[in-house]
Amino acid sequence: MMGLYLDEVEVGLAIELGSYTFTRENIIAFAQKYDPQYFHLDDEAAKRGPFGKLTASGWHTAAGWMKNFVAANHRAEAALRAAGREPVPVGPSPGFTNLVWHKPVCPGDTITYWTRVTGKRELATRPEWGMVFSISEGFNQNGELVYSFDGKVLSPRRPA
């Protein structure tokens, strides 16, 4: 990740990935496509729903993280190229654990996303790859934690 080999990714590294602003329009557009429940679609109906107001689909909050993670990787890769080095492509992810939507996300909220490297290891079965483990979080404009998950992503090892 971030254009680096597994060997170079430092445990403890924390990166502010960027922000995503949720609007009534983008909340409803996402929900119409993927999560058409009334509390993601309609202000009036949402008042009688579980959150008492229109809220973003949790998978929209998740998508906002990915958008910023990809952008942060692209920035890091561009910086390496500018320094005369070819960046290492980020590998695929086998999944994640412990995803929590801590608080609802509503129109007008701007979520700032972070990721922090919590560990890494080599893979016995695939010597050219390793796994990087991370905790990712999203905070709203009041500094409240709204979203978190434990991620993992494959990263290439430096060729011997």
Could you tell me the smallest distance in angstroms from the CB atom of residue 62 to other proteins? 6
Please tell me whether residue 95 binds other proteins under the rule CB under 8 A. Answer: yes
Q: State which of residues 42, 75, 93, 133 lies at the interface with other proteins (CB under 8 A).
A: 93
Residue 110 phi, psi dihedral angles, 5° rounding? -110, 120
**Burial class for 156, CB neighbours closer than 10 Å (0-12, 13-18, 19+):** middle
Residue given tokens 């993670």 in the structure block: 69
Contact 83, 10 (CB under 8 A): no
Site for other proteins in 23-82 (CB under 8 A): 30, 33-37, 39, 49-51, 55, 57-59, 62-64, 66-67, 70
Nearer to other proteins (CB atom), residue 13 or residue 35: 35
Neighbours of 78 (CB within 10 A): 12
Nearer to other proteins (CB atom), residue 10 or residue 77: 77
Rounded to whole angstroms, how far apart are CA atoms 79 and 59?
30
Nearer to other proteins (CB atom), residue 117 or residue 154: 154
Q: In the complex, which residues of this chain contact other proteins (CB under 8 A)?
A: 30, 33-37, 39, 49-51, 55, 57-59, 62-64, 66-67, 70, 90-101, 149
